[in-house]
Amino acid sequence: MDEKDWLILQTLYEEKNITKTAERLYISQPALTYRIQQIEKEYATTLIVRGKKGIEFTPQGEYLVNYAKEMLLKAQKTKEAIKNMERKVQGMLRLGTSSNFAHYRLPKLLKNFLTEYPDVEINLKTGWSSDVIQLVYKDEVHVGIIRGDYQWPEQKHLLAEEPLFIASKEKFAIAELPRLPRINYMTDAHLKQTIDTWWKNRFTVPPRIMMEVDKIETCKELVLHGLGYSIFPSLCLRPDDELYTVLLTDEELIKRNTWIIYRNATLDLLVVRTFVDFVRRFYREEIHHESPLFKPGY
């Protein structure tokens, strides 16, 4: 087996479908089928079977897929190490970020970084912060940018502390919230627990949750149209939203933190060191010097 075979096995395992795998790898179905048969012949075993739900891997196939994943990662690391020897900021930077950070902050950050370092290629994965942590832990990405105070045993730096706001199209008093319609959005367990704890410390009745949506952007649009209130990190709010906002406090200001995390060994790569330094500088020079996005009230 070679690198192409490892990629075939990994992609087929992800897709569980010959047609979709062939499309992703830009090869014909007959060529893909032939290559799988050759791998099976090489190892004298059956790797896949066709079930009702698509392709299923045998135990031997599962074992070989895990091997393929390891070899692909080792091959990538070898290429990165060789590029690093040239002492020029170039090569592939594998980055994982939370979805909200990717939506609101990442485009400007990456544009500025790539303007300064045009020989770098970015391989990006986004998702829940808890998933990003796993990507960093497994070395599937070099650097993670997460939101929330998660445990991380290696290197991490605090990039930003941002307040949370209750936001509504109409003016309200905190005491009125149990009677007002609330709109919830899917978020990570850490933020959900923070909001739930704040509510339980304030009220003895549950909130009137009238709508639940999957994305924070959808929730914000519903709030902008006067359909209820919600609780947002300041990251997703803008001065021109014209929302009535009240800071979320519980004896002290409740904040949502943004962190950059990475493994100690990845700093051996020049592109990683450069990116980490750039992100920290970006937050010091640009984000922290922005005028405050919001003040309580309109």
Residue boundaries of the structural domains of the chain: 3-82, 87-160+261-287, 162-256
Q: Rounded to two decimals, what is the model's pTM?
A: 0.71
User: Which percentage of the chain shows pLDDT scores above 70?
Assistant: 94
| pLDDT grade for 84, boundaries at 50, 70 and 90 | low
- Cβ(139)–Cβ(263) under 8 Å? yes
CATH class for the domain made up of 3-82: mainly alpha
Report the alpha-carbon distance of residue 64 to residue 57 in Å, rounded: 10
Sign of the Cα pseudo-torsion (245, 248, 252, 254, in order): negative
To the nearest whole number, what is the mean pLDDT of the chain?
89
- Cβ(97)–Cβ(106) under 8 Å? yes
Each residue's pLDDT tens digit, 17-36: 888 999 989 899 898 898 89
Report the alpha-carbon distance of residue 129 to residue 187 in Å, rounded: 10
For the record, the structure tokens of 160 come out as 């930003």
Question: Among 21-25, 70-74, 77-81, 209-213, which stretch is predicted with the lowest mean pLDDT?
Answer: 77-81
User: Which percentage of the chain shows pLDDT scores above 90?
Assistant: 57
CATH class for the domain made up of 87-160+261-287: alpha beta
Please give the average per-residue pLDDT across 85-92, as a whole number: 78
End-to-end CA distance of the chain: 63
Examine domains 87-160+261-287 and 162-256 and report if their fold is the same.
yes
Tell me which architecture the domain covering 162-256 has in CATH: 3-Layer(aba) Sandwich (3.40)
Ramachandran assignment for 297, one of left (phi > 0), alpha (psi -120 to 50 degrees), beta (any other): left
Report the alpha-carbon distance of residue 141 to residue 150 in Å, rounded: 17
Residue 264 has pLDDT above 80, yes or no: yes
- CA quadruple 17, 19, 24, 25: dihedral, nearest 10: 100
